[in-house]
Amino acid sequence: MYTGDRRVRRILEPAATAMAAERITAEESEGLRDLLDSIGPDPAAADLVAHDLEFHRRIASCSGNTVLSCLLESMSGPTIRARLWRGLTQTWASAQMLAEHRAILDALAAHDPEAARSWSTVHIAGVEQWLASVP
């Protein structure tokens, strides 16, 4: 993913997450919780990446903004290979990602847009830093 794309995602993803916190229904929140619970404690890298993509897709959908959802969807594709590599080479990364997903979900379920935005920013920034370090 190009540096400019990462910077745009850093702006859009937290905004979508904050918007989702204002609009998410109990059913959508429960669906995200079920998704998180389904991954298990030690997922294979490919399963982890699929889970990550679905988690972010659902949050963007909960924002209620189809243009924003489509933009974020188009930006996630180029990072799939890098996410797989991270999952294979950094075993601690999956536990960290899942913990961050739970924090995002807790903020969404509490309808707290600023906490949701903040956790999303932390999550995206961590992935961005790792991507920047990969040769």
Query: How does the average pLDDT of the chain come out, rounded?
Result: 84
The pLDDT of residue 128 is: 73
Question: How far, in Å, CA of 29 to CA of 8, rounded?
Answer: 26
> What would the mean pLDDT of 100-128 be, rounded to a whole number?
93
User: In the predicted model, is pLDDT for residue 57 greater than 90?
Assistant: yes
Domains of the chain: 3-133 (1.20.120.530)
Q: What is the 3-state secondary structure (H, E, C) of 57-102?
A: HHHHHHCCCHHHHHHHHHHHHHHHHHHHHHHHHCHHHHHHHHHHHH
**SS3 state of residue 46:** helix
User: In the predicted model, is pLDDT for residue 48 greater than 60?
Assistant: yes
Q: Dig out the tokens for 51 from the structure.
A: 């889970």
Q: What is the pTM of this model?
A: 0.86
Tens of pLDDT along 78-105?
A: 566 566 556 556 666 778 888 999 999 9
Instruction: Provide the percentage of residues in the chain whose pLDDT is more than 90.
Output: 50
Question: How far, in Å, CA of 80 to CA of 49, rounded?
Answer: 7
